[in-house]
Structure 1
Amino acid sequence: MAICKPGPFGQPSGKIGNTIFYMLKGQPVCRSNGKPGKATLKQKANQQEMKVTMELLKPMKDFINVSFKLESEGSVKNPHNLATSYNKKQALSGEYPNIKVDYNKVVLSRGLLESAADLKVSKGADGLRLNWNSNITEDGGTDDILMVLVSHPTKKQASIFLNAARRADGSCFLPLDKDWMMREQMEVYACFKSSNEKLISDSTYVGNLNGVPDSPLEKAEKVKYQVVKDRFDLLAADYDQKRMDYAEGVITTKAFRYLEKEYQVLKEKLKHMPGKPS
């Protein structure tokens, strides 16, 4: 998308050739409408980055509309634009085609209000308990409101608490009403907004609960590793026996060397294969 400045015949509007002209928040812009050619590797990487970012942010819409509202005011960007820009640049890791979210780098708010200090999260029977330091050292007030987002990546959902507690409370309980929530991966984020809603803090990554499941690539690597490991274990037992038979002259040199070569190849392969048990 490009900014389009008015020409001698005024501001164009609509489609001209393969270009579409329109207004966005009072600013004239234009974009192409032609059929794209074959994507380069760099373009494919950018497309996957955008896809992963959109999948991350889609369940967080209601939170983002509040947390980025102040920053978006007076600009041509909306809250979702800001969230997309921050997280596409900062919260992704890996190379195409294995780009994924780095959850401890996700950004859900930016502001000047004092952030939550010493935030800790723990699981209860039917929800989460958050604790934090309620003391104020810089900009902030006891009536600041805690906002919490619990991301459920495996279900592509999020639990949102826009008024979880006051800063002065020092703790709060977040009820999670679905059984699967307490078993699946959870990524917890929090920020404070002032009681008059004119200030907001940077978001804080509180932590992960229930671990992170393997990606499709990691699952495939583990399967491949186990296939090779099973073959090696079977071969190793045979190799140990044949080595003694060879030493005693029971088997021929050629037969033993074929076995020994496969044994050594698999042994070396296992050293460098991904998918090993941690």
Structure 2
Amino acid sequence: MAICKVGPFGHPSGKIGNMVFYMLNGQPVCRSKGKPGKPSLKQLANRQAMAVAMDLLKPMKDFINVSFKRESEGSVKNPHNLATSYNKKQALTGDYPNITIDYSKVILSKGTLEMAADLKVSKGTDGLNLSWNSSIAENGVEDDILMVAVSHPTKKRASLFLNAAKRGDGSCFVPLDREWMMTAQMEVYVCLKSANEQLISDSAYVGNVNGLPESSLEKAEKEHYKVIKARFDQVATEYEHKKMDYAEGVIETKAFRYLEKEYQVLKEKLKHLPGKPS
């Protein structure tokens, strides 16, 4: 049963039939309730896109709550809603069921504050070294604060530094205290905020550290290459052993020719087969 607190023409609160009415961030919302039917291809694609975006953004919640705080104020969206919306539109690539993240297009903040130029990252012994051009061309001050987000996608985690350095410093060191962090994939992002957090810059992608992990396709190709290579090595050994006997007429011609044919086919196949060790 639903209740209309402000009369028959107001927004109800509760259940009417298979519809549920409630307030969300000051906005009246209505959704259906019940067992859904078989999802369409578009629905499946949207679900995967949402899951991929959430895997990226969920570990960076504290960063996003600051970076999208000003933009979310006065709207029905919270900072995480904004981040999800931006990245579902801009940072996803591929089609269902192979939707992935284009890390260079990830958006973690939007604003008018000038972003630093010439951003660079390098790996140290137990952390990352960041550097940037501290000069100011349009707006901003030396006391603007650098925020750093280091995404660890393979672990579904992130290392966040909300007050890493000042714009005027021109460089900083970001400590990473877990051994696996220094070897796993890292994607590095920064933005600048004013000291009073009233202004923020667009986020910037600094780069990848430790490369990308192998995809499921690449792993399958490598395994397939190993199987073919093992068979080729077996055939090649037998072929080389019997080649001299064939030349001397000791073995039957037909059997040897079958062996020779397989040897040649496998040898040619290995030349063009993906998955070959680099």
Deviation at 1:240, TM superposition (A): 5.2
Give secondary structure in 1 for the equivalent of 2:38.
coil
Task: Kindly report the root-mean-square deviation, in angstroms, between the aligned alpha carbons of the 2 structures.
Answer: 2.6
Cα distance change of structure 1 residues 89 and 270 upon mapping to structure 2, 3 Å threshold? farther
CA distance in 1, matches of 2:162, 2:130: 14
Cα distance change of structure 1 residues 194 and 274 upon mapping to structure 2, 3 Å threshold? same
User: Please, what TM-score do these two structures have when normalized by structure 2?
Assistant: 0.86
Cα distance change of structure 1 residues 121 and 14 upon mapping to structure 2, 3 Å threshold? same
Cα distance change of structure 1 residues 94 and 255 upon mapping to structure 2, 3 Å threshold? farther
> Which stretch of structure 1 is more off in the superposition, 173-182 or 138-147?
173-182
Deviation at 1:172, TM superposition (A): 1.2
Map residues 6-45 of structure 1 onto 2, 5 A cutoff: 9-45=9-45
Give secondary structure in 2 for the equivalent of 1:235.
helix
Deviation at 1:267, TM superposition (A): 4.4
Deviation at 1:200, TM superposition (A): 0.8
Counterpart position of 2:175: 175
Q: Deviations over 1:39-61 (max 9, x none)?
A: 34443332222211111111100
Deviation at 1:124, TM superposition (A): 2.1
Counterpart position of 2:153: 153
- In structure 2, runs of 5+ residues without a counterpart are 1-5
- In structure 1, runs of 5+ residues without a counterpart are 1-5
Cα distance change of structure 1 residues 123 and 9 upon mapping to structure 2, 3 Å threshold? same
Cα distance change of structure 1 residues 271 and 38 upon mapping to structure 2, 3 Å threshold? farther
Cα distance change of structure 1 residues 239 and 192 upon mapping to structure 2, 3 Å threshold? same
Counterpart position of 2:206: 206
User: Please, what TM-score do these two structures have when normalized by structure 1?
Assistant: 0.86
Cα distance change of structure 1 residues 7 and 46 upon mapping to structure 2, 3 Å threshold? farther
Contact 1:130/1:172 (<8 A) preserved:
yes
Counterpart position of 1:84: 84
Deviation at 1:115, TM superposition (A): 1.1
Identity %: 76
Counterpart position of 1:75: 75
Counterpart position of 2:113: 113
**Number of corresponding residues:** 273
CA distance in 2, matches of 1:96, 1:233: 39
**2:186 matched to 1:186?**
yes
Q: Deviations over 1:207-255 (max 9, x none)?
A: 1212222234432331122111221233244445556655665544542
CA distance in 2, matches of 1:36, 1:217: 33
What letter corresponds to residue 230 of structure 2 in structure 1? D
Contact 1:116/1:190 (<8 A) preserved:
no
